A and B are shown apart, each in its own frame.
Chain A
Amino acid sequence: DAGVTQSPTHLIKTRGQQVTLRCSPKSGHDTVSWYQQALGQGPQFIFQYYEEEERQRGNFPDRFSGHQFPNYSSELNVNALLLGDSALYLCASSPRSSGNTIYFGEGSWLTVV
């Protein structure tokens, strides 16, 4: 049973560029959340998707957007990259029925230069 899978694992982008990160949830999970983890800090909630709609959003600007597909997989898009966007981006999935128990993938390391 595959867990949460994310791609790519590492990437380097230039300031001003755009990036798309991808996530496949754990089998049986229909809800996907995205978190940003800066070095030395805990994960910060970006947003959550359920039934292909953004259900809740954290304190992140509109440059951060997402999408969920009918197969429950999800994408995180970040436009107009800033140096401060360099971080580990974590995808977490859960079954809606479990309330709030979430399981993380290994993350995508984004470096903005």
Chain B
Amino acid sequence: GENVEQHPSTLSVQEGDSAVIKCTYSDSASNYFPWYKQELGKGPQLIIDIRSNVGEKKDQRIAVTLNKTAKHFSLHITETQPEDSAVYFCAASRTNAGKSTFGDGTTLTVKP
């Protein structure tokens, strides 16, 4: 089955700096890669996603890149703000497969 590894497990940055979180996946048939943000005591919130027919996608301060050959994808957050502090999860799945496989999360702390 699919295996998703996420690094780093914790990341601390100064406000205004950039943050990068990386994930690798094992199933070459996976074609959908979402990122979720989970704040304390809440459920994961979808923040951005990318499909395998696209190499990069951007939404304001957030961008995701995908390298299908190397089977890895990354989340980039620019101009970080204290409210970006949360746990971020990557996931991988096949279209209509039902099951999403998640990484173990990255705890991002943005220091004011």
Contacts and interface: CB of A to CB of B under 8 A. Distances in A.
Interface of A: 4, 31, 33, 40-45, 48, 55-56, 58, 90, 96, 99-107
Interface residues of B, number: 27
Contacts of B94: 100
Contacts of B103: 42
Contacts of A99: 32, 95-96
Nearest to A3: B43
B15 to A, nearest CB: 26
A40 B93 CA distance: 21
Contact of B100 (A4, A102, A105): A102
B42 to A, nearest CB: 6
Given A41-B105, A42-B105, A43-B89, A100 B42 contact: no
A96 B96 CA distance: 8
Contacts of A100: 32, 93-98, 100
B73 interface: no
Interface in B53-112: 89, 91, 93-105
